[in-house]
Structure 1
Amino acid sequence: MFCRRWRPISTAICHQARAFTIAIDGPAASGKSSTARAVALELGLGYIDSGSIYRCATLLALRNKISDIDARHADLIGLISHSKFDIRILRNVWLNNEDVSKEIRCADVNRFVAEIARDAGVRAEVLKIQRSVAANAEKKSAAAADGTTPNGVVMDGRDIGSAVFPNAELKVYLDASAMARAIRRWDQMNSARNAQGKRSEEDGAQTEKPAYPTVEEIAREIEERDYADINRAHSPLRIAPDAVVIDNTNLTFEQQVHTISDLARERMGIPRKHEDSI
């Protein structure tokens, strides 16, 4: 449901500016990335999963055995600043020309990413990367524009509307209960485990299935991550004053995508498209 109303902006302003930025924020496992990606595809905009950049930074720390951020702060900042990040709209995340899409979602990264993300130096370095990657995505979107819709970018994260793009044309805050988010994450992990098991069976390999956390354990991890994100000193998780808040606990994936896409269309001065948008 909506917790805030939005103000439509004039058609003239949208068409004159030609660039359109959608900032989607929210807590862990609220569906930001999958929703933002689908919205970008529907509207023909560029897409950036900013959380993947923090996960890549966390992977860099783990691979280089940096467990104490305070003691090896400069080392981690150097690694991040000299790395190449490529976030592609069809889910792939590349770090230094290596596809790390699956590795950045592993349990070790999940446990350590909040520690990395709270560091002010890391956030400052990632902010540069976010804006650079977003600018490149906007250029690609502009090249593909058909002249009837603005070029632009959709970016999701935890401080996009409040810190990265405070002047975004549309800001959305996606939320859901901790248990609903835990169930979704467990379903994702279970699907990935089943897919891996099927591939192993087809290859004739005998592999022991790794132990996965329960839904209750995931819910506790999510609540701990929420607390860390809300209470960190630098760029904490906040709802921007002008954001549209959508609780998607009881919404279908299609409903939330259609709702955000139609909100964007209204602000672009384009007619709404979907009957199921709220």
Structure 2
Amino acid sequence: MTATILSGKELATKKREQLKLEVERLKAEGVSPKLVIILVGNDPASISYIKGKQKASEETGVDFHLDHLPESTSEEELVKLIEHYNEKEDVDGILVQLPLPDHINEKTVIETISPEKDVDGFHPINVGRMLTGQEAFLPCTPAGIVEMIKAADIELAGKHVVVVGRSNIVGKPVGQLLLNENATVTYCHSKTGDLKKFTSEADVLIVAVGRANMITSEHIKDGAVVIDVGVNRLETGKLVGDVAFDEAINKASVITPVPGGVGPMTITMLVSNTVISAKKRLS
């Protein structure tokens, strides 16, 4: 068996084309979707991620604005800037790029962003709405994963999904979204005993731990769907996922590559959330 490659890059390209049409319709009605990103400091990874978000915004016609603040910016100054954008009617999405410098409280910053402009889906109100099945901005990586699975016509109802990783950004919310799709969900993490026992029973295996090539073929059930969220750089400079791709491709039925898998969909879902927010200006 050789797995089918589930390309997030291809799906993201299609979705961005659809979003571009939606943005054109909104602009024809006098609404120009706008995304504001705030970066504090000069973290190289954050700068790279923001470039990807800017590119996706420009491709779809979403107005993009970056406030790049010095590392010395105080928490009070950052909070005041967020509150300023909360009040601006022409701003549809606000994202503060994480991680923040140590002297700024991440929780305080996230909770300052208006839930109606929280296009990252991190505000506790949006998390609570998601958990209770209400309309909410969904966190971008989990939402992208669900969209990829659905686009591949993979049935989720009644399937056993195993999520390896329990972060608030990916692990916990993706499990909840798949539970909402009537899957049976098991969470595994660093304290799980006999990880292989759980992962080898998964119809759908989602791995988001940030450890290169952690999941090998013996962790995977024959014919499983494998979604690799990890992005790790080896000493050679090569980017790899949390799953040993060359092994897993001969065991899984469907697998996402790294790079070109979940990453492009994460950025695309951010733009999608911004467009959804902009539509609310018409109601």
Query: Is this a same-fold pair by TM over 0.5?
Result: no
The structure whose RCO (Cα within 8 Å, separation 6+) is larger is 1
TM-score (norm 1): 0.25
